[in-house]
Copies of this chain bind each other. A is one copy, B any other.
């Protein structure tokens, strides 16, 4: 049947298994919106700011393993979404990023919204194409599916000129086969096996597909058989954890703590993980966190099949399906009472976390004790900030909740990071997403207060201190959430925090708890 370019684009995506579109469209994308209107297989989720859209696409793909598409308005719409594309790129998340563009005959006039979209998209795109004709855009969409799905996941940007969308002559391209990530060379596996057999104290730093499912199981077998200790980078995309799961320790954010954690290990095997380095450079410190005189070996690079590499390594170590897997013992603390303390909050979360919960974590200063406290509670997933661009937690929670409607999402965030993409609460309310947000309101960029003192520039003077202090005026998070339709309350004791958390986990739709610190 006859169809225009926009229709062939959307139908090709649907045929290729892409069933969710996070969007904030504009005039140039109206024909694509019309095509979405006719494609009921594709769920459309509106965000009122593009950082919400791209971050939600990231969260969706982290939980489903397949790309959502995002649809944004011209260069400025893309620009607003790029910070969370940075995070998605570091997470190796598959996303099909659709951006409208003026037709060539309009571009020449430099109308207000004209910009070089390819240049804006390039730093965040592993694959980038501007579609040239309605007859080609079906094929372009199929290529984008392949590019995004190229394991471990990439950002594929397809720019859609309005005239390509509105012109007739579109055709649906067949569902493409997406290549799997390659296994690393066998020498890498042999070398890792030899290191593990040597008896020297060994750490394995694993990430990506090795932090859940079969890859994680193989890691647990290797750890059990060899005594190797399993770590994940601080910037982890998604980790399965809890009672009965393979215990993996997240490297601390604070460099001195990370160095202390790693110093006993003479050997470090990297599995899809980069060399462990500090977030930032400091005048008198090394960037690398592992011992300088240790042995470092990359079993799998970030673009190789980490899970497959671990299974190959298990085989090389003569392990099989029946080999013992290192698992975390169940330990669930009781909910504490009394005044609010960070430790008490962490214990409360651990006491009440529902089974199969998805925890999104961007409480960089106040949430540091959360993982230790919850290691033995019911199995759950943990999602982190992979690129350090703050403002990912709320959008990630949106995407995770859309991806897994039968699961609860707990979003741990702070006042500094929440302000970046607070529009996400509106989408949670609109879509009735089961997300319970906890805002740790310390009225400060506390991480900056801490970093400043660590950089050897002395104590902050009044003007510097003012730039780290976001409590003038205090933001009322309860009022803020309610203004966007999210029920909210303030916890003033550990009991009330526990009560609100229980209520949030039991209720329908989103809720918010403000913790004033």
A36 close to B (CB within 8 Å): yes
Residues of B within 8 A of A123 (CB): 75, 115-116, 119-120
Which residue of B37, B106, B115, B426 contacts A280 across the interface (Cβ within 8 Å)?
B106
Task: Enumerate chain B residues within 8 angstroms of A177, measured Cβ to Cβ.
Answer: none
Question: Could you say which of B26, B112, B448, B470 contacts A26, with CB atoms under 8 Å apart?
Answer: B448
Stretch at the interface among A41-49, A189-197, A262-270, A337-345: A41-49
For residue A254, which residues in chain B have a CB less than 8 angstroms away from its CB?
A: none
Contacting residues of chain A (385-438) with chain B, CB-CB under 8 angstroms: 385-391, 416, 419-420, 422-423, 426, 429-430
Given B36, B162, B280, B477, which contacts A27 in the complex, CB threshold below 8 Å?
B280
* A430 touching B83 in the complex, CB below 8 Å, given contacts A76-B389, A112-B90: no
- A389, B79: Cβ atoms closer than 8 Å: yes
**A472 partner residues in chain B, CB cutoff 8 A:** 430
Indicate if the CB atoms of B119 and A288 lie closer than 8 Å.
no
Interchain CB contact under 8 A, B111 and A279: yes
Q: Chain B interface: which of A217-225, A317-325, A479-487, A489-497?
A: A479-487
Is A31 engaged at the interface, CB distance under 8 Å to the other chain?
yes
Point out the residue from B80, B90, B391, B480 that lies within 8 Å of A83, measured CB to CB.
Answer: B80
Give chain B residues whose Cβ lies under 8 Å from the Cβ of A79.
Answer: 79, 82-83, 86, 389
Binary contact track A445-473/B, C-beta < 8 Å → 1, others 0? 00110011001011011111011001011
Highest count of chain B CB atoms <10 Å: which of A419, A426, A447: A419
The reply to whether the CB of A281 lies closer than 8 angstroms to some CB of chain B is: yes
Given contacts A102-B280, A274-B109, A483-B480, contact A75 B86 (CB under 8 A): yes
Give the complex CA separation of A46 and B462 in angstroms: 14
Contact of A166 among B25, B116, B283, B460 (CB under 8 A): B283
Residues on the B chain within 8 Å of A483, using CB: 475-480, 483
With both chains docked as a complex, state the minimum distance between the C-beta of A365 and any C-beta of chain B, in angstroms: 13
Which residues of A (259-314) have their CB < 8 Å from a CB of B? 274-275, 277-281, 283, 287-288
**Would you call A419 and B166 a contact (CB within 8 A)?**
no
Other-chain contact of A105, B275, B287, B419 (Cβ < 8 Å): B287
A469 to chain B, nearest CB (A): 9
- Minimum Cβ distance to chain B for residue A391 (Å): 8
A37 touches B460 (CB 8 A): yes
Chain B residues within an 8 Å CB radius of A430: 472-473
Residue A474 lies at the interface, judged by CB distance under 8 Å to chain B: yes
Give the CA-CA distance A415 to B413 in the complex, in Å: 25
Q: What separation, in Å, do the CA atoms of A274 and B106 have in the docked complex?
A: 13
Q: Are A27 and B463 in contact (CB under 8 A)?
A: no
Interface status of A34 (Cβ within 8 A of chain B): yes
Task: Verify if A103 is at the interface (C-beta below 8 Å from B).
Answer: yes
